[in-house]
Structure 1
């Protein structure tokens, strides 16, 4: 479940980025993209569950979608950094998660026989997700304020 949830979280972040970049103006594009992402997730989970659980494939797939997530969010952040001050939170989240993902890729023996790279990865992502929620909250309030002006 840990591996499937990781893929789901990354794909959901990509979907949120799609909604934020094109979905507000073109909701049908966002809906079609959501369907594509759900299809990709279903195929990924089905392959790992029903055909063969291949750790290398799972890692490569998550790194690939993680890089798509990184590039898309960073591009959006750089494009909007002048008019949206809360974008710095999003940029920090994306860069922190990419840096912390090295804990997943560069495994090391447990510290004090308890804390391995995977455990440190999980505990270190908690504040990052809180920061991402804070960004989403501020961005939503910004969008609501803008829609009331229209």
Structure 2
């Protein structure tokens, strides 16, 4: 049996009373459940809102309304470790849902804008960036699904896909530094270097699957992200004189790490819609513009060094 630590909200007797009362009146008998299902809008059924989850949400709002009328209560509680949001046509967290779509769209747009440069520029890292683009868009798709309706499955897919972005960025800079320092071919080391990264990622997935530990997941993401950022900054410093576009890489790193503060310092949702996590999603939608502009300049950097005249005429 899995044991989860309750939040302040779902430990309140007031919440438990509202929840039990709702379940008793709507979900406890077959005929009551049939009546509930006949009244429920189709779009809520499509998003998987069953009788018990509806009662949980209803009890949360009843508890919040009652607490707001109490002069001695000055904060909004979390329930089951989550904030309570206004639901939009069955979408559980509308702001994060919409901003996840925005991230998916900007990643797709910027990738398509960069792709022609990568294909014709003789950039040895083009295939790595193509995989990164797929990983990023996959992660934002599952973020969209998770924020539309939270379930144990959509939560795992969201968290696991998000960490794949973080660890892959560390993988790419490791390859970039090794190949440039020792003048090696990317294809010669990317497979052998992928083995330890894939192994650690699988280990992380298995551990999280056995016990979904939010604290451990946050620490692993931060440690991986910091290591990746340090290596990218070292690479920027090494190449600061013969790559004028290095500042774009630095700005990309600075931007995403500043935005990360929103993930570390949580607060109750403004208007029960915009919490720190949703604002983080809004901010990260601009990251691809910085990043793919840097990758495009990298592609041009390699294009200048190539002897392919047709490619130069097409792109420059």
Is the contact between residue 10 and residue 66 of structure 1 (CA under 8 Å) also seen in structure 2? yes
Is it true that 1:67 corresponds to 2:226 in the alignment? yes
Where do 4+ consecutive residues of structure 1 move more than 4 Å?
Answer: none
Higher relative contact order (CA 8 A, sep 6+): 2
Q: What residue number does 1:76 align with?
A: 235
CA-CA distance at 1:19 after TM superposition = 2.6
Q: Deviations over 1:10-46 (max 9, x none)?
A: 1111122123222353344443222211111111112
Q: What residue number does 2:208 align with?
A: 48
CA-CA distance at 1:71 after TM superposition = 0.2
5+ residue gaps, structure 1? none
Higher gyration radius (CA): 2
Q: Deviations over 1:52-77 (max 9, x none)?
A: 10001000000000100110001111
The secondary structure found in structure 2 opposite 1:114 is coil
Partners of 1:140 and 1:23 in 2: CA distance: 16
Partners of 1:9 and 1:139 in 2: CA distance: 20
Partners of 2:234 and 2:172 in 1: CA distance: 14
Choose the corresponding residue for 1:23, options 162, 179, 182.
179
Is it true that 1:39 corresponds to 2:199 in the alignment? yes
Partners of 2:167 and 2:305 in 1: CA distance: 27
Choose the corresponding residue for 1:102, options 251, 254, 261.
261
CA-CA distance at 1:103 after TM superposition = 0.8
CA-CA distance at 1:148 after TM superposition = 2.9
CA-CA distance at 1:131 after TM superposition = 1.2
Is it true that 1:5 corresponds to 2:199 in the alignment? no
Choose the corresponding residue for 2:270, options 91, 99, 111.
111
Structure 1 or 2: more helix by fraction: 1
What's the RMSD between the two structures over aligned residues? 1.7
Number of corresponding residues: 148
Q: What residue number does 2:292 align with?
A: 133
Q: What residue number does 2:76 align with?
A: none
Partners of 2:179 and 2:190 in 1: CA distance: 5
5+ residue gaps, structure 2? 1-156, 309-316
CA-CA distance at 1:111 after TM superposition = 1.6
Partners of 2:205 and 2:300 in 1: CA distance: 35
Partners of 1:109 and 1:11 in 2: CA distance: 30
The secondary structure found in structure 2 opposite 1:111 is coil
Partners of 1:148 and 1:17 in 2: CA distance: 26
Q: Deviations over 1:119-144 (max 9, x none)?
A: 11111111112211111121122123
